[in-house]
Amino acid sequence: MKNVIGLKKGIVRIEKYNPGWKEEFNKEKKDLKKIFGDIALSIEHVGSTSVVGLSAKPIIDIAIGVDSLENIAKIKEKILKFPYYSIKENNADGEVLMRRGVPINLGEDKPSFITHFIHIMEIDSIKYKETLVYRDYLIKNNEALKEYDNLKQKLSIKYQNDRKAYSKAKNEFIKSILSKCKILNL
């Protein structure tokens, strides 16, 4: 199986599970440890590429748990010295999103071909915990994995040129799984 990752910004394309995604995560984790040092309390492979057997966009999602998002200011200059990283402005509450990739056109200052989404969250936050619980639930529940895989396949066709709409359309399913996890006390 080829070991290619990345998509043009905004595009949705789903691929069958690729064991090379774990290798890509492990390579990136080493780089992130060097950049974040002690600020990163945890670096986890999350998202669909972390779940064996689940189809996914070939973009590696990583969750970094930190004590405080304010710590990111301490290393922002260090991060931005690398031309393949960018930090998204206007992030979701409780998260700083970094992207790794490359500009497609000369002169672009931000990646337009994305290979990694790096979600930086406070390690004690609900958002961080839910990210890990959701991943773990899919790993342990084959029926939910298949249902999610089917949903992603359908949505990737419907929203192939609109990643935001694709992500939003998955939210109801994700929320239903997180509700089950709360009921089960996971």
Q: What's the pLDDT at 124?
A: 96
The answer to whether 118 and 99 have CB atoms below 8 angstroms apart is yes
Question: Does pLDDT of 149 surpass 80?
Answer: yes
Q: What's the pLDDT at 3?
A: 55
CA distance 45 to 54: 14
What six digits make up the tokens of 98?
A: 């970094």
Q: What's the pLDDT at 62?
A: 98
| Cross-strand bridge partners of residue 100 | 85, 116
Q: Which has the minimum average pLDDT: 36-45, 63-72, 73-82, 153-162?
A: 73-82
Assign 94 a pLDDT band (cuts: 50, 70, 90). Answer: confident
Q: What b/e string do you get for 49-75 counting C-beta neighbours within 10 Å, with b at 16 or more? A: bbbeebbbbbbbbbbbbbeeeebbeee
Q: What is the pLDDT of residues 21-60, one digit of tens each?
A: 999 999 999 999 999 999 999 999 999 999 999 999 999 9
Q: What's the pLDDT at 1?
A: 45
Q: What's the pLDDT at 183?
A: 81
Assign 109 a pLDDT band (cuts: 50, 70, 90). Answer: low
CA distance 165 to 173: 14
Q: What's the pLDDT at 182?
A: 84
CATH code at 7-183: 3.30.460.10
The domain spans of the chain are 7-183
What six digits make up the tokens of 167?
A: 């992500």
The label of the residue with tokens 């990136």 reads 28
Q: What is the separation, in whole angstroms, between the first and last Cα of the chain?
A: 34
Q: What is the pTM of this model?
A: 0.91
